Amino acid sequence: MKFLPLIWRNAVRNRLRTFLTLAGIAFLLFVLIFVMTGLSEIQAWEGVAATHRRVVVQHAEGLMAELPIELENFLKGDIISRHAEHVCKFNWFGGYYQDQKNWPPEFAVDPETMRVLFDELSFSDEAYRKFSETKTGALVGIALMKKYDWKVGQRITLIGTFYPVNLELDIVGIFTTKDPRQEEQMFFRWDYLDELLKGRKVVSTYWMKARSDEDIPKLKELIDAHTKNSSAPTETITEKEFAAQFMQMMGNIKAIVAVIGALVLLIMIMMTANTMAMAARERVTEVAVMRTLGFTAGQILGVILAESILVSMLGAALAIGSSLLIFNVVKLSPDPIYFPVFLVAPNTVATAIGAALSCGVMSSLVPAIRSARRKISDGLRQVV
């Protein structure tokens, strides 16, 4: 601690240079936090999805293709019900609220089965009764209610983009869950959507719950075999696979994040190393003087490393502070459709701190060792 004033004064000796280095580190770490948060949000959905035994039936050609309504009878029939229960139609609506900046994730579901299928959602019996009785009813996650300052009983309009209709929904209840991401969602009735679409019976996916883990492969086999030679062949997958597939639409994001992370670290190290090398060159005589006063090579090494770590950590504080403010407090999302929730996770913060620490150490190690090892008499003779 008693060396701190010396370390601090050295760090801010050339204010413009330190500011530029610090700003560069902060910007790069912000980019790292941003892409890592995207990745962790994807992994969070996959993680939540893996905890349920939910199975999704979709068209083999993908989510944009429709499934026939007749398939529901087969899914609810004896063959399948031995392995699964609670079949529910499930359509993503893809509409916005008031402004194209607002994309609450809205899903059309069957009120009869949604409560047991999505049993992690917690809402009152009264709310569920109203949802079952009101064709225009909507159950809304508590976070979404707060986000748009909605109230129970309020009528809201969602402007359709994927479907050529607008929804006029009455909020009949609020739900909570353990996962904050789900609390950003809302559910409305599939039969209301169908009515607006004039009875076209459009089904994007069917969801159901496997009776056991062992039933999942059997369900895949039975359903896909049944539809194989039909006009709408299906692909039956788990909810986790569904989540992973949804995110693959954005490309191999994990590889992109890994490449960006490595590049960020490399550029940070090169930038800080340049600053530290310049600083060390300017201070050859000072280091020699300090060693004449009795500073050991190890102490010199420590002072230079500490200076570099200090600058890197200040950059990290700036990046972490601003990203927490933007994403966790103001709750901005880069893409409200793909990322209705975009929260910087504690492990992302820890990674950013780790990256800054590594940058601080790695960038100054060579100049610090050189300074510490230079002969004092050579250092005193140096004219800078």
Partner 1 sequence: MSAPVVKVQGVSKIYYRDETPVPVLEAIDLEVAEGDFVALMGPSGSGKSTLLNLIAGIDRASSGRVEVAGSELSALSETALAAFRSRHIGFIFQLYNLIPVLTAYENVELPLLLTPLSRSDREKHVMMALDVVGLADRKDHTPRQLSGGQEQRVAIARAIVTDPTLLLADEPTGDLDKKSEEEVLTLLQRLNKEFKKAIVMVTHDPKAAACAARTVMLEKGALVSKP
DSSP helix, strand, coil percent of the chain (3-state; round to 5): 55, 15, 30
In the complex with partner 1, which residue's Cβ is closer, 71 or 279?
279
In the complex with partner 1, which residue's Cβ is closer, 4 or 332?
4
Which residues are CB-contacts of 122 (< 8 A; sequence separation ≥ 6)?
A: 175, 176, 177
In the complex with partner 1, which residue's Cβ is closer, 357 or 376?
376
CB of 376 to partner 1, least distance (A): 4
In the complex with partner 1, which residue's Cβ is closer, 204 or 275?
275
Instruction: Note the residues at the interface with partner 1 (CB under 8 A).
Output: 2-3, 5-6, 9-10, 13, 285-286, 289-299, 375-377, 380
CB of 273 to partner 1, least distance (A): 21
| Dihedral angle computed from the Cα positions of residues 323, 324, 328 and 334, in that order, rounded to the nearest 10 degrees | 0
CB of 280 to partner 1, least distance (A): 15
Look-up: residue for tokens 């009764």? 129
In the complex with partner 1, which residue's Cβ is closer, 336 or 379?
379
CB of 368 to partner 1, least distance (A): 16
In the complex with partner 1, which residue's Cβ is closer, 2 or 151?
2
Task: Indicate the angle between helix axes 253-282 and 284-293, nearest 10 degrees.
Answer: 70
Q: In the structure encoding, which two tokens stand for residue 14, read together?
A: 């050339």
In the complex with partner 1, which residue's Cβ is closer, 298 or 346?
298
DSSP 51-94: TS-EEEEEETT-TTS-B-TTHHHHHHSHHHHTTEEEEEEEEE--
Which residues are CB-contacts of 253 (< 8 A; sequence separation ≥ 6)?
A: 38, 39, 42, 247
CB of 311 to partner 1, least distance (A): 15
CB of 283 to partner 1, least distance (A): 9
CB of 17 to partner 1, least distance (A): 13
Q: What is the 3-state secondary structure (H, E, C) of 316-346?
A: HHHHHHHHHHHHHHCCCCCCCCCCCCCCCCH
- Residue 175 CA to residue 178 CA, distance in Å, equals 11
